[in-house]
Amino acid sequence: MSTLQAVRGMHDILPEDMPYWARLEQTLRDLFDAYGYSEVRLPIVEKTELFLRSIGEVTDIVEKEMYSFDDRNGESLTLRPEGTAGSVRAGIEHGLVQPQQTHKWWYSGPMFRHERPQKGRYRQFHQVGIEVFGLEGPDIDVELILLTRRLWQMLGLSTVVQLEINTLGSPESRHTFRQLLVDYFSAHRDRLDEDSLRRLERNPLRILDSKNPDLKDLIEGAPRLHDSLDDESRAHFAQLQAMLAGAGVAFVVNPHLVRGLDYYNRTVFEWKTDRLGAQAAVAAGGRYDGLVAQLGGKSVPAIGCAFGMERVVALLQDLGVAPAVAQVDVYVVLAGDAAVRVGFQLTEAWRDAVPGLRMVVNCGGGSFKAQFRRADRSHARWAVILGEDEVQKQVITLKPLREQGEQRQVAWMMVGATLKSLCG
């Protein structure tokens, strides 16, 4: 094995994987078109400060997972660990995110987090994200969930994903609740495990999500977020649930569903699967009504969500949802020097005559046997044979590879028209 290898956690996506990716990407594109969302393409590198101010300085992402480096002028830059911060920055910078205005964006691209790699968890991974600015009602929350549900339907994944929702309340109510939790768990500090003690300092809400069975009783006795909710958030969440139920969306309210990024408030949701081990979340999102103002813009409500592309692809592969094999119409067998000499002149003329013709021209020589083997493996429907005899007679031999039938000869002048009728 060579000493040259990809950087840890940064994987190659090879031709055999691409049909799954292509199908997912095309499905998403169609979906966004259907719902009226616009694509944006934003930089992969942003100022480090942007992520400190949005994601939160005491989050895992910011504290230990960011790829940060100094630019040549000494400014600290970071490979984006997620897409929302850059979207908000762009929206503010271009004056697009304004009160009373709605923008519905989507983007796609690589994200970077320095985590310990596992299947479905990479240091460079790909997300498709949605960001909606300017809508504060639960209706847009529902739309994002419906859009996502439709994606699972289109991909045939509906049976392996489940929706969980929760509300985090307003920043104020969340803050109040956080303090109640800290007080409660601090009073029972001796019963907490190591992880939870650490969480107590950094993200006390996470203790509620602990998998340690020893803490079950303690957690059940803890204050409940829903008791601290402000009335507006409570109403928002109630409407959300009513609308989801009305739209026939199956969901589970998980009061322990907490997001790891500080900017979320009110609605949060997560689509989970049990097919990917510990990497259960395949898509997740929530409201971030305070973020635009927090980053210097006007006060504009917003909501977003993101899909983990590798994880969705893994589900597609896991379920054996076989993508269509790439179709080839014609494989051109070129045998002998004379055929190779006139080969491209002819094949280019056929491409002119039949736009969109999917034609593979044999390169690299080889015996008839070898070339036919390649033709077969290309899944071509037809073989066009050009050998010494054909060049001499100015014809090609046309042979069906996928169906019964005799091969026949076609004069050079007629090949374009013939291919057009067969493959056009």
Partner RNA sequence: GUGGCUGUAGCUCAAUAGGUAGAGCACAGGAUUGUGAUUCCUGGUGUCGUGGGUUCGAUUCCCAUCAGCCACCCCA
The least distance separating RNA from the CB of residue 71, rounded to whole angstroms, comes to 24
The least distance separating RNA from the CB of residue 388, rounded to whole angstroms, comes to 4
Beta bridge partners, 303, equal 132, 287
Compare residues 153 and 407 and give the one whose CB is closer to RNA.
407
Compare residues 153 and 245 and give the one whose CB is closer to RNA.
153
Q: What is the DSSP letter of 206?
A: G
Compare residues 89 and 113 and give the one whose CB is closer to RNA.
113
For residue 129, the SS3 value is: strand
Question: What does 179-202 look like in DSSP terms, one character per residue?
Answer: HHHHHHHHHTGGG--HHHHHHHHH
Q: What is the DSSP letter of 124?
A: E
| Residue 274 CB contacts under 8 Å (≥ 6 apart), including other chains | 160, 280
The least distance separating RNA from the CB of residue 269, rounded to whole angstroms, comes to 10
Question: What does 211-249 look like in DSSP terms, one character per residue?
Answer: --GGGHHHHHTS--HHHH--HHHHHHHHHHHHHHHHTT-
The least distance separating RNA from the CB of residue 88, rounded to whole angstroms, comes to 14
Compare residues 120 and 343 and give the one whose CB is closer to RNA.
120
Compare residues 104 and 113 and give the one whose CB is closer to RNA.
113
C-alpha span between 210 and 191 (Å, rounded): 13
Compare residues 212 and 239 and give the one whose CB is closer to RNA.
212
- Give the rounded distance of the alpha carbon of 300 from its chain centre: 26
The least distance separating RNA from the CB of residue 160, rounded to whole angstroms, comes to 14
For residue 329, the SS3 value is: strand
The least distance separating RNA from the CB of residue 350, rounded to whole angstroms, comes to 17
Closest by alpha carbon to 147, among 229, 242, 40, 269? 269
Give the number of other CB atoms < 10 A from CB of residue 18: 14
Compare residues 188 and 408 and give the one whose CB is closer to RNA.
408
Compare residues 99 and 277 and give the one whose CB is closer to RNA.
277
The least distance separating RNA from the CB of residue 115, rounded to whole angstroms, comes to 6
The least distance separating RNA from the CB of residue 173, rounded to whole angstroms, comes to 20
Using alpha carbons, list the distances in angstroms from residue 281 to 80, 121, 290: 20, 11, 24
Compare residues 367 and 421 and give the one whose CB is closer to RNA.
367
Q: What angle do CA 60, 206, 210 make, to 5 degrees?
A: 115
Q: What angle do CA 396, 400, 402 make, to 5 degrees?
A: 155
The least distance separating RNA from the CB of residue 408, rounded to whole angstroms, comes to 10
C-alpha span between 344 and 365 (Å, rounded): 14
